[in-house]
Amino acid sequence: MKAFIAGLPKAELHVHIEGTFEPELMFDLAGRNGIALPYESIGALKAAYDFSNLEDFLALYYQGMKVLLHEQDFHDLTWAYLERARTDNVRHAEIFFDPQGHTRRGVAFETVLNGIWRALERGRRELGLTTKLILCFLRDLPEEDAERCLDMALAHKARIAGIGLDSTEVGNPPAKFEGVFARARHEGFPCVAHAGEEGPAAYVREALDLLKVARIDHGNRALDDTDLVARLVREGVPLTVCPLSNLRLRVVAEAKDHPLKAMLGKGLAVTVNSDDPAYFGGYINDNYEVMQEALDLSREEIVTLARNSFEASFLSRAKKDAHLARLNDYALAAKSSNRSTAARS
């Protein structure tokens, strides 16, 4: 099953580029930029990755970002993720970035965007990996900050495929950003939002009703509300679920308690993603594997998750169909090689 997951063509729809910042690269860039990290070694930094909740994690996530100063830093960060994703047979990635986490430190929006973009172009050329960039507003900042961030984004519309919402959820409901999301949609951006990670099912409803999002990032807490689940199924709203993140941030106590299989069973359009893989102990295939083992997912369920990942993407219908055809071929080839192995034994 591990080999089956490894070779499975898949899309990743929920990964924060700043959350792919591996400690080794962080120390390299800190050295290059003459910035002292408050840890004496890579080991000491890794030892700090023991989180009780989202807030705990975000403190380290924002601290880590501080060593990213120059365009080349953003390029190197993004390139490292793309190379890693390609080894997991990710064929398409929709990547979040948090410009406000950088502009508030005095790094220009263009420095961030140009560095990331250069790596994405290189990824298309050298790895055959297609990508889209989703700009996330930090929900713990005022809506006016998000408005200013959107103004900056409008000067680079061709490179930004969508708008999202992340950072501290509880106390920062989607309603706080109704105005800026309306303007983003008016400008033609498809929207997504983190909702129901730590916040209540009501935040998932607000994200749908007020922000009019096309996908919900996480969405675990939607399961507390049966009417909401029925609506998500009826409307085919995808959920970008992140199992290792849920475990490391204690949204779910143990892998065997994860609701992924139950979500599939209810007919929700769930996908599997890595969120902040450098902090949560694994990339996308590790997320598939931990769920397959703990929940005894079948090959058909694994293929459904990968199929959902392409369907839920912002790719054109034609591009989705091309990915889905390759996925079907892969699943069929695995089935027939399984059958011939069974026949021989």
Which residues would be at the binding site for ligand ADE (CB under 6 A)? 16, 19, 54, 61, 166-167, 194, 197, 245, 275-276
Q: Which residue is nearest to ligand ADE (CB)?
A: 166
For residues 99 and 164, give the distance between their C-alpha atoms in angstroms, rounded to a whole number.
Answer: 12
Output 275 or 289, the one with its CB closest to ligand ADE.
Answer: 275
**Bridge partners (DSSP) listed for residue 138:** 166
Using CB distances below 5 to 8 A depending on partner kind, what does residue 197 bind out of ligand ADE, Zn ion, none?
A: ligand ADE
Rounded to whole angstroms, the Cα distance separating 135 from 118 reads 16
Cα dihedral value 308, 204, 185, 142, nearest 10: -130
Q: How far is the CB of 1 from Zn ion (least distance, A)?
A: 26
76 counts as binding Zn ion under rule CB under 5 A: no
| Active site (annotated) includes residue 197 | yes
Minimum gap (Å) between residue 202 Cβ and Zn ion:
19
Nearest to ligand ADE of 119, 244 (CB atom): 244
Among 22, 94, 197, 198, the one annotated catalytic? 197
b/e map 201-239, b = 16+ CB within 10 Å: bbbbbbbbebbebebbbbbbbbbebeebbeebeeeebbb
Rule CB under 5 A: which of 270-309 touch Zn ion?
275
Element (H, E) at 215: strand 215-218
Binding site partner of 12, from ligand ADE, Zn ion, none, Cβ cut-off 5-8 A by kind: none
Q: What is the dihedral of CA 29, 32, 38, 40, to 10 degrees?
A: 100
Task: Report, in Å, the least distance between residue 230 CB and Zn ion.
Answer: 25
Cα–Cα distance, 188 to 157 (Å, whole number): 9
Question: What minimum distance in Å lies between the beta carbon of 196 and ligand ADE?
Answer: 11
Size of the site for Zn ion (CB under 5 A): 1
CA 102 to chain centre: 19
| Binding site residues, Zn ion, CB under 5 A | 275
Tell me the catalytic residues: 197
